[in-house]
Homo-oligomer: A and B are copies of this chain.
Amino acid sequence: MSKENDVKKAVILLSGGLDSATCLAYAKSKGYQCYAISFDYNQRHKVELKYAAKIAKKFGVKEHLIIKLNMRKWGGSALTSSNIDVPKSGLKPGIPVTYVPARNLIFLSIACAYAEAKAIREVFIGVNSLDYSGYPDCRPQFIRAFEKTVNLGTKTGVSNKKIKIQTPLQNLKKSEIFKLASSFGISPSETISCYDPSPKGKPCGKCDSCEIRKRAKELFYNEKTN
């Protein structure tokens, strides 16, 4: 077997947010050669792609693919439709209007296609189901069902080489993700999680994502100083 084949490889879903950046750094720390994939889905916060590119560079990915898929063609979310506003009055119970129809299902499907074409069998996604926006496609039961499905519907999956979906942040609190990011030398300011930033990337400070980040940041810094 050639040396090239001995390298552990992984595809990493990279949004430009803190979670996926941490996920990439984590995979890298575990010795994976990383192939990053980001999506220009005509999202409201398209500026995140600039952050993704810088993070990809920082962690020396082997390749960074940016895939265009215009989700405004169907919309149905505050992030992909200009008719729906991003809520800015605090976290509420239930699935918010920033939920994007089938987003992680689509992203994972395309990431697995990319992985399969590169003969890679591990795909990392920074989903987290503790401090999150309540999206159903961040939950472990969805990820496990997806993994089963991809292994039934791909050439790789039906061979004896299964595709594995890795979710290292699944059970971390957001403040723990801050800690992990920090241990990899990632400053939160190198990433963007805001749903409604300015075109230059200034976070709105009021959306659910900004709110979650603010709370976690406070917890993280309180812990550091206490």
Chain A interface residues toward B at CB < 8 A? 65, 67-71, 73-77, 95, 99-106, 109-110, 112-114, 116-118, 136-137, 139, 141-142, 145-146, 148-150, 152-155, 157-158
Q: Is the CB of A118 within 8 A of B152?
A: no
B153 pairs with A104, CB closer than 8 A: yes
User: B101 to A155, Cβ gap below 8 A?
Assistant: yes
- Tell me if A's interface is mostly helix, strand, loop or mixed: helix
* Given contact pairs A68-B69, A105-B112, a sample of 6 additional A-B residue pairs in the complex whose CB atoms are under 8 Å apart: A68-B68, A71-B113, A105-B154, A136-B153, A136-B158, A139-B153
Residue contacts A-B, CB under 8 angstroms, 11 given? A67-B70, A68-B68, A68-B69, A71-B113, A76-B116, A102-B153, A106-B109, A136-B152, A136-B153, A136-B154, A136-B155
| B-side contacts of A100, CB under 8 Å | 113
Q: Could you say how many copies of this chain the assembly holds?
A: 2
Query: Considering the chains assembled together, what is the distance between the CA atoms of A30 and B71 in angstroms?
Result: 29
Checking B67, B74, B152 against A114 with a beta-carbon cut-off of 8 angstroms, the contacting residue is B74
Distance between Cα atoms of A112 and B102 in the complex (Å): 7
B residues less than 8 Å from A106 (CB atoms): 106, 109-110, 113
* Bound form: Cα–Cα A114–B77 in Å: 11
B-chain residues with CB within 8 Å of residue A149 when the two chains form the complex = 105, 142, 145-146, 148-149
A110 to B104, CA, bound (A): 11
Q: Which residues of B contact A99 (CB under 8 A)?
A: 155
Residues of B within 8 A of A73 (CB): 65, 67, 114
Contact B141 A95 (CB under 8 A): no
Chain B nearest CB: distance from A48 CB in Å? 19
| A69-B67 contact, Cβ under 8 Å, with A105-B109, A145-B145, A149-B149 | yes
CB of B155 within 8 A of CB of A95, answer yes
The docked-state distance in angstroms from the alpha carbon of A145 to that of B157 is 13
Distance (whole angstroms) from the CB of A126 to the closest CB of chain B: 16
A153 touches B105 (CB 8 A): yes
For A77, give the chain B residue with the smallest CB separation. B117
